[in-house]
Structure 1
Amino acid sequence: MDVIINIAEAKAHLSDLIQRACQGEEIIIAKNNQPLVQLVAHQPKSQIKFGLLENDTATQDLLNIMDIDVADDFYNNDIFPETK
């Protein structure tokens, strides 16, 4: 159930409104009965980090080997003769 509350009343009951929003209730703060903002509980950002393996030497070695193999196939062993 949406709760629409004017700014003055929201100021007076902010702690209660925060608690209700944290429990999942939809709180909308209005000015002159026109909705302005919605009070919602904070959702932490994802913990996924891109480049997570960038300093992993085993992964880098594998990528380097793959790059050499691809280059060997593409250039017919002309660029990397030491890989023969």
Structure 2
Amino acid sequence: MKIQVNIHEAKTTLSKLIEAAERGENVVISRAGKPAVVLVPVAQADKPKRQFGFLKGQIQFAPDYDQADAEIERDFANSRIFPDGDV
């Protein structure tokens, strides 16, 4: 549930807003009708944000890393999953 209040209302009901945020509710405090801040529990605020691509350029793969290994392919072909050998 999203709770959105203006600054005056936030001052008046701060304890209730804190309780709501601690329960996991999304609490937004607005200024002049525009969202200004989000009230979140400390445990949630302290979580490090995941950054997409932060390891870019630091990991290298062999050129053939996505090629099927012949032994693995043969094992699949000869398994009960593919009784006709059609992989």
TM value normalised by structure 2: 0.49
Match of 1:35 in 2: 35
Q: How many residues align?
A: 46
Deviation at 1:32, TM superposition (A): 1.0
% of aligned pairs identical?
41
Unaligned runs of 5+ in 1: 47-84
Say which SS state the counterpart of residue 5 (structure 1) adopts: strand
Q: Counterpart of 1:31 in structure 2: which amino acid?
A: R
Q: Counterpart of 1:15 in structure 2: which amino acid?
A: S
Cα distance in 1 for residues equivalent to 2:47 and 2:3? 26
Q: Judging by fraction of residues, say which structure has more helix.
A: 1
Match of 2:4 in 1: 4
Larger Rg: 1
Deviation at 1:2, TM superposition (A): 1.2
Runs of 4+ deviating beyond 6 Å: none
Cα distance in 1 for residues equivalent to 2:40 and 2:9? 17
Question: CA RMSD for the aligned pairs?
Answer: 1.6
Match of 1:15 in 2: 15
Q: Counterpart of 2:6 in structure 1: which amino acid?
A: N
